[in-house]
Amino acid sequence: MPSSISNSEVVGSLPSPSGPTARTGITLLLAGLAMLFLGLELTSPLILTRLSRIERRVESETQAAKALRPVTPDGRPTVLLAGNSLLIEGVELDSLRDTLAPQYAVSRLAIEQTHYLDWYFGLRRLLEEGARPSVIVLTLATDQLASRFTLGESFAHRQMSARDFALVVKEAKLDKTSASTYLFAHWSNWLANKGFIRQDVLILLVPHFRELAARIADHGPHVNDPSVLLEMARQRLPELRDLAQTYGVTIVLLVPPTLRQDQSQQVQELGNHVGVPVWVLVPPGEFPRDLFVDGFHLNPQGSEIFTARLADQIRKMPVRLSYNSTNDRGSGLKAGSTSDNNVVGGP
């Protein structure tokens, strides 16, 4: 006689699954992602430093800049050259150092593809963290002075102070997505470094990648309207003046040579009016095209001439040092004051 066991009885008699539950799987997945992210955070600086000669240079120059005091132990005022590739290609650092060695100690902090906001907030952070050069010479083209561009996540991590985040959002006109990216990148090595790591991998994998990138790079003016450029200069030169006064340093704007009209003479006049030295050592169009690599960066011959002019200008610059502990956080020296104590340099 056939058995009359019901379906429910059969199902109920089957053993229950012994594998992981959905909750366990999600927990393991999240733990794996956390370990992956932690690994990227810890290793990305090491990977980038190993892959990139530029990163090693920037890190070395940054640490050296943070340690600068107004004068060296042998009594020479310190000069920090800050800027982007226009500084790297336009000024022969070793030659400038050797020429000025009897009078000044010259250092450099150069980060490619940077503009005004990178350096305004970068210098704020550098000075906030204790750097005190006597003089900061900031090298920017006039359209870079007026630009709202930044170096993105790298800027947020390396040059932006957390206390300046709200001001960066305002000045760079960031939308909510970009603002949140900057905030996370400030604290995250991986977010700050991933773009450069990808670039360095391409350099290793793609033949002549550097030459290709140089060809397609945008070197044109980012601010074409002279009235807009001058209006931004009117706003930003006083910002540099106030920053210099806050920390007791001298900040100079150095305009590199250019083939085109760049309103540098007008910017120089504005600087004289608000109290920020603007050095235009080569009037627009004076250097012929054959002194440039790409119509924007100087070649070795152009760099040699420009470096000699810069050395002469720094020699003629009076640097005043007076004892004042308010702004120097323990060094006992204040650079760039109007006091006549310890005047160094001059014509």
Q: What percent of the chain has pLDDT over 70?
A: 72
User: In this predicted model, what pLDDT tens digit does every residue of 220-270 receive, in sequence order?
Assistant: 557 789 999 999 999 999 999 999 999 999 999 999 999 999 999 999 999
pTM of the model: 0.79
Is pLDDT larger for residue 47 or for residue 77? 77
- 35 burial level (CB within 10 Å; 0-12, 13-18, 19+): exposed
C-alpha span between 145 and 255 (Å, rounded): 10
Of the chain, the end-to-end C-alpha distance in Å amounts to: 122
**How confident is the model over 117-127, as a mean pLDDT?**
98
pLDDT in tens, 141-163: 999 999 999 999 999 999 999 99
Element (H, E) at 250: strand 250-255
pLDDT class for 32, splitting at 50, 70, 90? confident
Average pLDDT over all residues of the chain? 83
Non-local CB neighbours of 167 within 8 Å, separated by 6+ positions: 121
* Neighbour tally for 46: CB within 10 Å: 11
Cβ atoms of residues 220 and 243 within 8 Å: no
- Ramachandran quadrant class, 346 (left: phi over 0; alpha: psi -120 to 50; beta: rest): left
Other residues' Cβ atoms within 10 Å of the Cβ of residue 268: 19
Residues 6 or more apart whose Cβ sits within 8 Å of residue 63: none
Cα 123–Cα 128–Cα 133 angle in degrees, nearest 5: 60
- Decide the pairing of beta strands 105-110 and 78-83: parallel
Q: Which of 114-118, 132-136, 205-209, 276-280 has the lowest mean pLDDT?
A: 205-209
For residue 343, the model assigns a pLDDT of 43
What is the number of alpha carbons within 13 Å of residue 263 lying toward its C-beta? 21
As a whole number, mean pLDDT of residues 327-334 equals 43
Spatial contact of 115 and 149, defined as CB atoms under 8 Å apart = yes
Cβ atoms 62, 130 nearer than 8 A? no
Residue 27 pLDDT level (bands cut at 50, 70, 90): confident
pLDDT for 344 equals: 46
For residues 327 and 334, the answer to whether their CB atoms sit within 8 Å is yes
pLDDT of residue 195: 65
